[in-house]
Amino acid sequence: MKFDYLIVGAGFAGSVLAERLARGSGKKVLLVDRRSHIGGNAYDHYDDAGILVHKYGPHIFHTNSREVFEYLSNFTRWRQYEHRVRASVDGQLVPIPINLDTINQLYGLKLTSMEVEKFFESVAEPREHVRTSEDVVVGRVGRELYEKFFRGYTRKQWGLDPSQLDAMVTARVPVRTNRDDRYFGDTYQAMPLRGYTRLFENMLDHDNVKILLNTDYREILDVIPHDKMIYTGPVDEFFDYRYGKLPYRSLKFEFETVNEARVQPVAVVNYPNEHLYTRVTEFKHLTGQEHPKSSLVYEYPLSEGDPYYPVPRPENNELYKKYQALAEERSDVLFVGRLATYKYYNMDQVVAQALSVYARIVGQKRAEATRAQAVPAPRPVLASPASKRRRAAVTVSLTETAVALKGA
């Protein structure tokens, strides 16, 4: 019952490293999560109406990394999907990111691409030094569009005015002079054909990977032997908040199922101003599922709750550096992922980071480490019943072992 690695957290960071260490290096891995499921925040499931929903809000996969996309393609087939979003502004649903159609629809104009660029130049308020999210937007599209699309949304999402947030928050959203209404411009844009949970099941379907759910790793840390740890949870929690809590934003989700086949024109509608929620997602746009009903989720940002988004402010980064210094002193623990490194990473960035960490462990270049002992030819979309029973049995036996050892 000794493991080479104890991995804390069964999201993308932990699961990718579990798969690589097990399949690529033959290591024995125990993957522990205090939630009741694998997949982290990307976990999806069928609700009571039989509609596939994302429990923790919409997760849309996009990347410019061929390596990351091909790696994940070993565990899922894909549904081609390009994400589109509308914003509710002045009683209209207009494209966001702001593009040519946004301006023409909003102001009743008939501008061309060249003319809309001149329009942006006429309303922009260039800043000599771009430090904040307000600087980014006002310097590109002016104050009126900033107020209509960004200020209210950012205040709700982050609990702070854009003038108090790092420039990277709004710099993530482009401004376009053409009619491209895709939210992302990445080379690879797709959704796992049978959902994220199936992807994770296939990724973790290996004899060397044992999974223990509904468990805080600290409960079994001293009773299940292991050589090294990989930690993907909040770094401040790991060190018992020695320097204080790192600020995160959380979310509350309210789900609704309606007796309509389709409600929204696109998957996500943003509400910058007039409601307490920031956005509404209709999942069938993402999954392509055919169903007479439709399920939606309303997102309400919170200051307390499960940590979702590190708050990008200079003082928070300084606080993180103190925890980073503690982490670097721990040669027996690797810290990986959004929460462990306090970075506002997308899913593909977390996968890339995990692959890079594995490459360092085995002393190879990342591309070589990703191919090592290959990730087999595309695995079945659906994990076999036998493998599911095996994982369930392992979980039970590990739990019983931990309890028995505690009582001994």
Q: Are residues 209 and 316 in the same domain?
A: yes
Q: Are residues 233 and 358 in the same domain?
A: yes
| Euclidean distance between CA atoms 104 and 92, whole angstroms | 12
Residue 269 lies in a domain: no
CA distances from 222 to 402, 405, 406 (A): 9, 9, 9
- Which pLDDT does position 373 carry in this prediction? 55
Query: What is this structure's pTM?
Result: 0.90
Q: Is 373 left (phi over 0), alpha (psi -120 to 50) or beta?
A: left
Residue 54 lies in a domain: no
Q: Are residues 94 and 25 in the same domain?
A: no
CA distances from 86 to 93, 96, 183, 186 (A): 6, 5, 9, 19
Q: Are residues 72 and 89 in the same domain?
A: no
Contacts of 70 (CB under 8 A, 6+ apart): none
Q: Are residues 127 and 8 in the same domain?
A: no
- Which pLDDT does position 376 carry in this prediction? 52
- Residue 36: CATH number of its domain: 3.40.50.720
Q: Are residues 144 and 198 in the same domain?
A: no
Residue 211 lies in a domain: yes
Residue 289 lies in a domain: no
Residue 375 lies in a domain: yes
Please give the tally of structural domains in the chain.
2
User: Under a CB-based contact definition with an 8 Å cutoff, are residues 283 and 261 in contact?
Assistant: no
Q: Are residues 89 and 107 in the same domain?
A: yes
User: Under a CB-based contact definition with an 8 Å cutoff, are residues 310 and 345 in contact?
Assistant: no
Tokens read off for 164: 């108090």
Of 171, 204, 233, at which residue does a domain stop? 171
Q: Are residues 68 and 163 in the same domain?
A: no
- Which pLDDT does position 378 carry in this prediction? 45
* Residue 127 CB neighbour total at 10 angstroms: 15
Q: Are residues 349 and 331 in the same domain?
A: yes
- Which pLDDT does position 375 carry in this prediction? 54
Q: Are residues 236 and 319 in the same domain?
A: yes
| Euclidean distance between CA atoms 52 and 3, whole angstroms | 35
Residue 274 lies in a domain: no
User: Under a CB-based contact definition with an 8 Å cutoff, are residues 234 and 9 in contact?
Assistant: no
| Euclidean distance between CA atoms 402 and 408, whole angstroms | 10
| Euclidean distance between CA atoms 3 and 29, whole angstroms | 6
Residue 199 lies in a domain: yes
Range of the domain at 238: 3-44+59-77+191-243+312-407
Cis amide bond preceding 314, omega within 30: no
Residue 145 lies in a domain: yes
Of 138, 171, 204, at which residue does a domain stop? 171
User: Under a CB-based contact definition with an 8 Å cutoff, are residues 364 and 59 in contact?
Assistant: no
- Which pLDDT does position 332 carry in this prediction? 95
Which candidate, 102, 180, 194, places its Cα nearest to that of 148?
A: 102
Query: Identity (one letter) of the amino acid at 171?
Result: A
Q: Are residues 66 and 103 in the same domain?
A: no
SS3 track for the chain: CCEEEEEECCCHHHHHHHHHHHHHHCCCEEEECCCCCCCHHHCEEECCCCCEEECCCCCCEEECCHHHHHHHCCCCCEEECCCEEEEEECCEEEEECCCHHHHHHHHCCCCCHHHHHHHHHHHCCCCCCCCEHHHHHHHHHHHHHHHHHHHHHHHHHHCCCHHHCECHHHHCCCCCCCCCCECCCCCEEEEECCCHHHHHHHHCCCCCEEEECCCCHHHHCCCCCEEEEEECCCHHHHCCCCCCCCCEEEEEEEEEEECCCCCCCCCEEECCCCCCCCEEEEHHHHHCCCCCCEEEEEEEEECCCCCCEECCCHHHHHHHHHHHHHHHHCCCEEECCHHHHCCCCCHHHHHHHHHHHHHHHHCCCHHHHHHCCCCCCCCCCCCCHHHHHHHHHHHHHHHHHHHHHHHC
Q: What is the mean pLDDT of each run of 10 residues along the chain (408 residues)?
A: 95 98 97 98 98 98 97 97 97 96 97 96 91 94 96 95 91 91 96 98 98 97 96 98 97 98 97 95 98 98 94 94 98 97 96 97 81 52 42 44 41
Alpha-carbon dihedral angle through residues 159, 161, 167, 168, given to the nearest 10 degrees: 20
Q: Are residues 91 and 229 in the same domain?
A: no
